[in-house]
Amino acid sequence: MAIFNKLKQLDAHPKISEDFYSRTLSGGVITLVSSIFMFLLFVTEFRIYLSAQTQNQLVVDTSRGETLQINLDITFPALACSVVSLDAMDISGELHLDVRHNIYKKRLDVHGKAVDAPKPDAINAPKVQKPLQKHGGRLEDHETYCGSCFGAESSDDQCCNSCEEVREAYRKKGWALTNTDLIDQCHREGFIERIKEEAGEGCNIYGKLEVNKVAGNFQIAPGKSFQQSAMHLLDLMGFVTDSFNVSHTINELSFGAYFPGAVNPLDKVTSIQKDQNGMFQYFIKVVPTVYTDIKGRKISTNQFSVMEHYTAGDHGPRVIPGVFFFYDLTPIKVKFTEERPSFLHFLTNVCAIIGGIYTIAGIVDSFIYHGHRAIKKKMELGKLS
């Protein structure tokens, strides 16, 4: 019994007889309001506990031999699909001219709506009854057609049976095609007529590029690209105009797969050309990123930041009309990991909410109760004026 009596002395919560309880209206109101606050804060804390929290970490990127996927969707409202091409190159020396694999072009009218491609016989092109052969003669009925490459043949048995094949042969030689109307294949296919027909149209270029994971660039510009003396040039000859409007809207530009919370700074960005043959340049810093969701699934992708620069066409002959994207990779990789808060952390916060609100409510109730008693006592003594 002596031990039990000593334990009673340690009671931090002494009990008060019900005879001494005094319940007030203000105390009831404060209790109701504090209970509502407790419930709301408990629900908020419980939702935070159920939702995943994203932790980030910076590490050195040690990956090697990987590829980089570039997703693009760009609209040119005043540049026809027949004159525009996409080229890609990187510092490793790999060069892709007029990329067409996984890259698609959609013709647009002046209102931005898709235009159905015309049938081959719908083009009002001049007819060549006997096409020119590579040996200089004309095609006879019993001969098999083998078009001339007009001096750009890489071998004696090479044939250029279409305007595109002639242009490609000239590109590989590093020559500019000065007048396509003098080329038999281009004359027969109505190359100039097709360009005239698409005058005033726009073009939507979309798709994806698979490139080496090294610094490089890709460009969308009018003309046919070719290499000459280790220089990258654009052949703009043969077109019906010498000025090009490369105003554009970037509907999407991303590097890699999408992950929750990803922000691509160039999405929905519109750039307007201020004069003839302007050049738009985007300098992009790509940051490798790994996103791990709450289930442990990993998404290897990239984020990027960008700086823009515009060069007017009157700054000299070296200004090439087009849109150029220069990208480089950082040596730092960002890791995002989704984690769920621990139950002990949730329990601690709930106890803090209940205890804190209960204590504050008691202080407010005590202040109101004793204040009311003091005022009432002064009124009874007639000291309140």
Q: Do both 44 and 74 map to the same domain?
A: no
Do 213 and 359 belong together in one domain? no
In the numeric block, the tokens 């404060």 are attached to 30
Asked whether residue 334 is assigned to any structural domain, the reply reads yes
Domain check: are 322 and 348 in the same one? no
Rounded Cα distance between 203 and 283, Å, is 23
What is the tens place of the pLDDT at every residue in 128-146? 455 555 544 555 544 577 8
Classify burial at 218, counting beta carbons within 10 Å of its beta carbon; exposed 0-12, middle 13-18, buried 19 or more: buried
Residue 315 placed within a domain: yes
Average pLDDT over residues 115-132: 51
Residue 176 has pLDDT above 90, yes or no: no
The average pLDDT across 363-381 equals 81
Per-residue pLDDT tens digits for 4-13 = 777 667 655 5
- 98 located within any domain: yes
Burial class (CB in 10 A: 0-12, 13-18, 19+), 128: middle
CA distances from 55 to 169, 211, 262, 291 (A): 54, 30, 15, 10
The answer as to whether 171 is a domain residue is no
Residue 348 domain boundaries = 26-51+341-364
Q: How far apart are the first and last CA of the chain?
A: 58
- Mean pLDDT over each residue of the chain, to the nearest integer: 80
Which region among 243-252, 274-283, 313-322, 344-353 has the lowest average model confidence (pLDDT)?
313-322
Which pLDDT does position 290 carry in this prediction?
Answer: 94
Q: Is residue 359 domain-shared with residue 213, that is, in the same domain? A: no
* pLDDT band per the 50, 70, 90 thresholds, residue 123: very low
Tokens at 154, concatenated: 């890489």
Residues 220 and 291 in one domain: yes
The confidence score (pLDDT) of residue 140 equals 53
Pair 306, 350 in one domain: no
In the predicted model, what is the mean pLDDT of residues 284-301?
91
**Mean pLDDT lowest among 97-101, 144-148, 195-199, 307-311:** 195-199
- Say whether both 358 and 237 belong to one domain: no
Residues 333 and 351 occupy one common structural domain: no
| 183 compared with 126, residue with greater pLDDT | 183
Q: What is the pLDDT of residue 286?
A: 95
pLDDT at 237: 47
The answer to whether the beta carbons of residues 326 and 218 sit under 8 Å apart is no
Does the structure show a pLDDT above 60 at 336? yes
Kindly state the DSSP code that residue 114 receives in the 8-state scheme: B
> pLDDT class for 343, splitting at 50, 70, 90?
confident
Calpha distance 279→283 (Å, rounded): 13
Q: Between these two residues, 201 and 269, which has the higher pLDDT value?
A: 269
Whether residues 218 and 311 fall in one domain: yes
Give the HSE-up count for residue 169: Cα atoms under 13 Å, Cβ half-sphere: 20
Q: How far apart are CA 191 and CA 197, in angstroms?
A: 10
Q: Residue 194: which of 181, 211, 208 has the closest Cα? A: 181
pLDDT in tens, 24-51: 777 888 888 888 999 999 999 998 888 8
Supply the pLDDT for residue 215.
93
Structural domain count, the chain: 2
* 333 within some domain: yes
Q: Flag whether 305 is in a domain.
A: yes
d(CA 175, CA 230): 13
Greater confidence, 155 or 293?
293
Q: Is residue 291 part of a domain?
A: yes
Q: What tokens were used for 373?
A: 């008693």
pLDDT at 92: 86
When comparing pLDDT for 93 and 126, which is higher?
93
Query: Do the domain assignments include residue 372?
Result: no
- 357 lies in the same domain as 292: no
Whole-number Å distance between alpha carbons of 221 and 248: 11
Same domain assignment for residues 296 and 357: no
Boundary residue ending a domain (304, 321, 338): 338
pLDDT over threshold 90, residue 17? no
> pTM here?
0.67
Same domain, yes or no: 307 and 322: yes
Average pLDDT over residues 242-259: 89
pLDDT tens-digit series, residues 195-247:
667 777 889 999 999 999 999 999 998 876 655 545 555 555 445 456 788 89
Q: Output the pLDDT for position 128.
A: 47
